[in-house]
Amino acid sequence: MQAQPVADPDDRYGVRDERLLTGATVITGVRTIASVALAAAAAYEQSLTLLVVALVVYWVGDMLDGFYARVRDCETRIGAVLDIMCDRFNAAAFYIGLAWLQPDLSPAIFVYLAEFMVVDFFLSIAFLAWPVRSPNYFFVVDRPTWVWNWSKPAKAVNSALFAVLLLVTGWMWVGLAIATALLVLKCVSLHRLLRIGLPVPGGRG
């Protein structure tokens, strides 16, 4: 399988000067600490309300750091990886807290965590094998993989639909079906990615 041509590293999708400290990474750090602290407090207080606040802080902060990076033109690969890692930390804090407060939802929650924290994590950092700035620009490598995983609808389904459904309905079996479907989609995406082949920088003579 041939991937679509990769954009030139000097264009608006490609690699630029890397640095850890930017306004966007500061927002990422603040929202991560705040959301995890709220999730820990929610578990200690046995408060579903606090846990929902932790989730909202995570989501709002995640949108804000990306928006800031684009508007202020400070997107970096370091920032993208930090964001991906912090997303997993925030998600784990929320979902483990939810499983603690509502253990009947645990089967659906742990299938989702396997999908999001393992398979989706690998997919999300795979962009590092190409000269693009983040998974948001993976369409220049392979558009179907991007549509399934990092387009706005895909992000909404992967991060929001599952949590909202569990919180609003409490339907474990429906949640389990959604989590399983997401896991299958991510595995299909991973299979496609492996067929494309992960390039190894400097590995070609």
Is 204 inside any structural domain?
A: no
Residue 96's SS3 state is helix
Report pLDDT for 20.
Answer: 76
- The total of structural domains in the chain comes to 1
Query: What predicted TM-score, i.e. pTM, was given to this entire model?
Result: 0.87
Q: Residue 123 domain-assigned?
A: yes
Q: Is residue 154 part of a domain?
A: yes
Q: What pLDDT is recorded for position 25? A: 95
Domain harbouring 117, CATH code: 1.20.120.1760
Rounded CA-CA distance 80/144 in Å is 21
Q: Which domain holds residue 175?
A: 23-196
Instruction: Output the pLDDT for position 19.
Output: 73
What is the pLDDT, as a whole number, of residue 199?
A: 74
Does a structural domain hold residue 70?
yes
Radius of gyration in angstroms for the set of CA atoms belonging to the chain, rounded to a whole number: 18
Query: Please, what are the averages of pLDDT over each run of 10 residues along the chain (205 residues)?
Result: 46 65 93 98 96 97 92 90 97 97 97 97 94 92 95 89 93 95 96 85 48
Within-domain flag for 16: no
